[in-house]
Amino acid sequence: MNIETLRELAWTDYFFYAIVSPRELYRRIKQHDSGMLQLSFTVPVMAAFFDVVALSLNGTESGFFYHKISYGWLLFLFILLLKIVVYSALIDSSAQFFGCSGNIKDTVSLVNFAMFPGLMFLPLFYIISIAGIAPGFFYIFLPFLFFCWYLIILTLGVSEMHSIQSGRALALIFAPALVAGTLLFFTFIIFVFSLVGFIAG
């Protein structure tokens, strides 16, 4: 992606369609423009940073903020990238399991761009925290809304990707989430037992 391409602003279409038309977003992804995959990763980079800033807005002011915004951001980003890769792979495997064709590269791009509306959380939460309108409540409630939006984009995008019904696309998305959730639950249980053992040891 050179300067000329940047000036044309065609790359902004991905972000625009992520908000207004997920099906159109996937059609754009399918064109495989040069630099599209790299561009999609700007969303998780920003999302990790915004998450840290929102977390700091909700917490108490201390010098630890500088650690959060530097090392914390890198840690959040690393975890987020890991989640994206693992989750995209699971969606792709799930799609193949249900008889659809695999397309991991496009799935990763779709998962990345689907997170874009979630970036609006920071400006909204910033206003709420300045105004002091139940920030604790909105810190939980708004991400839930944005998560629903994320799911809608992902569902419509996957539906478009595999030319299947939205309901089936939703099942494709939820199947790996269910597997990942079960695994996480058991990992958590093992972690708690290990922690208790470590402290008691």
Residue 167 binds to other proteins (criterion: CB under 8 A): no
CA distances from 162 to 51, 97, 168, 183 (A): 32, 13, 10, 27
Looking at the Cβ atoms of 10 and 190, the one nearer to other proteins is 10
Contact 48, 55 (CB under 8 A): no
CA dihedral over 136, 82, 41, 152, signed as positive or negative: negative
Quick one: the chain helix, strand, coil %, rounded to 5?
85, 0, 15
Separation of CA 10 from chain center: 23
Q: Does 67 sit near other proteins (CB under 8 A)?
A: no
In the numeric block, the tokens 């699971």 are attached to: 90
Residue 74 within binding range of other proteins, rule CB under 8 A: no
Q: Which is nearer to other proteins, 33 or 89 (CB)?
A: 33
Residue closer to other proteins (CB basis): 46 or 177: 46
Applying CB under 8 A, among 53, 75, 81, 177 the residue interacting with other proteins is 53
Provide the 8-state DSSP code for 100.
P
Stretch that binds other proteins, among 50-58, 97-105, 147-155, 169-177 (CB under 8 A): 50-58
Q: Examine residue 150 and tell whether it contacts other proteins (CB under 8 A).
A: no
Q: Tell me, by CB under 8 A, how many residues bind other proteins.
A: 26
* Binding-site member from 122, 153, 156, 170 for other proteins (CB under 8 A): 122
Provide the 3-class DSSP secondary structure of residue 35: coil
CB 11 within 8 Å of CB 40? no
DSSP conformation class of 72: I
Q: Does 120 bind other proteins (CB under 8 A)?
A: yes
Stretch of 23-31, 60-68, 77-85, 131-139 lying at the interface with other proteins (CB under 8 A): 60-68
Burial of 128 (C-beta count, 10 Å sphere; 0-12/13-18/19+): middle
Binding residue for other proteins, selected from 1, 38, 66, 194, defined by CB under 8 A: 66
In the block, tokens 């696309």 appear at 169
Radius of gyration of the chain (CA): 19
Q: Which stretch binds other proteins (CB under 8 A): 54-62, 138-146, 151-159, 161-169?
A: 54-62
CB of 15 to other proteins, least distance (A): 5
**Positions that interact with other proteins (CB under 8 A):** 9-10, 12-13, 15-16, 46, 49-50, 53, 56-57, 61-63, 65-66, 69, 119-120, 122-123, 126, 196, 199-200
